[in-house]
Amino acid sequence: MLTAERMKAWVQHDTGDPGVLQLEDRPIPRPGPGEVLVRNRAIGLNPVDWKFIRWGHEGWDWPHIPGVDGAGEVVALGSLVSRLCPGTPVAYHNDLLRPGSFAEYTLIPARAAIPLPAALPFPAAAAIPCPGLTARQAIEKLPLKPGAHVLLTGASGAVGGALMQLARERGWIIHAVGSASQAERLLRLGAATVTDYRRPDWCERWAARVQQHPLQAVIDMVSGAHAASLASLIAANGHLVCIQDRQESAPLAAFTTTISLHEVGLNALHHHGSDRQWAELVAAGSDIARRMLDGSFDPQLIEVAGFDQLPAALERLKSGPNPGNRVVTL
């Protein structure tokens, strides 16, 4: 039962680096129809957080509470909410246009709440939504059979680690392109091979390799231009998936290898996804949570900081490297 009226929140009054955030007292919001209020116990930090703190958004009300990922307990329900009850432990990815997770309490759409096993620690749960659900969306784009060869660029980060774990269970052969210093970790998470992205000739070497081992897909987490530069590595009727960007025009001539182009944008589901799609996404998040609890899915935690250290932890995320997830706890 919610009795408090005020909460602590990290608020931005202007755009800039994480240092613009100020810890303030704010009113605790009350849920409307189809919403639930979550008392945050842990907050997941993601690159999208510091990017939008820097950029701002025309749809925000100012001052703004940023943050998209969190985990905690449901403490209040709006009308039309039936599948949750107060006390339910949940994780969530919130719409970045709404007041966010960098607070003691966050209001979220009920359909975005991921029920958690009671025994799962909240720091691990807070690492699920953005990395895990983004990875799951990318995986679902690809109708590949076991044994398919997939090149994953930008593999050293949290999304890459989640992707490799999800792809491994489908029997795909994942070739990770990432930092050489992370090779042991990438192999442990499911990569079959690791290519050092700092090698100036790595792409040319892969152009030779695909003559013997064709790639059915490339999943790129660098940029649209980077993804386009790899399109020629993909076998006929293969797939190019962009997570950091999209292809505004076809990267190859028509009627050549006829590859399919895919874009991934988790936040877009808040505005364009159906209730059924959200139910499937939430079920996937709950499955990851159960696997974290039994030790078969690594939450990749590299930092657990206190709530009072949130801007500093976000600055460390911005500066990198980030071979995993950074979270803060309340």
Per-residue pLDDT tens over the stretch 54-72: 999 999 999 999 999 999 9
* Beta strand spans in 86-233 (E): 89-93, 105-109, 113-115, 149-153, 173-178, 191-196, 215-220
Domain co-membership, 197 together with 288: no
The domain boundary residue, chosen from 263, 290, 307: 263
Mean pLDDT for 176-200 is: 96
| Residues written for the chain | 330
Mean pLDDT of the chain: 96
Domain co-membership, 321 together with 285: yes
**Element housing 6 (H / E):** strand 6-11
The domain boundary residue, chosen from 221, 245, 263: 263
Q: How many structural domains comprise the chain?
A: 2
Residue 37, pLDDT above cutoff 70: yes
Domain co-membership, 209 together with 290: no
Domain co-membership, 274 together with 259: no
In a domain, 81, yes or no: yes
Q: CB–CB of 57/96 below 8 Å?
A: yes
Domain co-membership, 206 together with 233: yes
Mean pLDDT for 243-259 is: 94
Domain co-membership, 247 together with 178: yes
Query: What pLDDT score was predicted for residue 1?
Result: 62
What CATH number did the domain enclosing 98 receive?
Answer: 3.90.180.10
Per-residue confidence at 269, pLDDT binned at 50, 70, 90?
very high
Query: What pLDDT score was predicted for residue 135?
Result: 97
In a domain, 116, yes or no: yes
Domain co-membership, 120 together with 36: yes
Taking the CB of residue 128, how many other CB atoms lie within 10 A of it? 30
- Domain of 89 in residue numbering reads as 6-131+269-329
Domain co-membership, 256 together with 286: no
In a domain, 137, yes or no: no
Domain co-membership, 111 together with 160: no
In a domain, 20, yes or no: yes
Domain co-membership, 10 together with 121: yes
Domain co-membership, 54 together with 152: no
Q: Is the pTM of this model over 0.85?
A: yes
In angstroms, the CA 182 to CA 245 distance is: 24
Residue 192, pLDDT above cutoff 80: yes
The domain boundary residue, chosen from 263, 290, 313: 263
Query: What pLDDT score was predicted for residue 213?
Result: 84
In a domain, 1, yes or no: no
Query: From residue 35, how far is each of 5, 82, 157, 193, 286 by CA, in Å?
Result: 18, 11, 32, 44, 19
Taking the CB of residue 7, how many other CB atoms lie within 10 A of it? 18
Cis omega before residue 63 (within 30°)? yes
Query: From residue 320, how far is each of 129, 225, 313 by CA, in Å?
Result: 20, 22, 10
In a domain, 136, yes or no: no
Query: From residue 318, how far is each of 156, 186, 313 by CA, in Å?
Result: 15, 21, 9
- Phi (first) and psi of residue 6, to 5 degrees: -125, 160
What CATH number did the domain enclosing 213 receive?
Answer: 3.40.50.720
Assign 156 to helix, strand or coil.
Answer: coil
Name the packing angle between helices 129-140 and 158-168 (round to 10°): 50
Residue 4, pLDDT above cutoff 90: no
250: left (phi over 0), alpha (psi -120 to 50) or beta: beta
In angstroms, the CA 166 to CA 226 distance is: 23
Domain co-membership, 194 together with 293: no
Query: What pLDDT score was predicted for residue 212?
Result: 86
* Lowest mean per-residue pLDDT among 94-98, 211-215, 304-308: 211-215
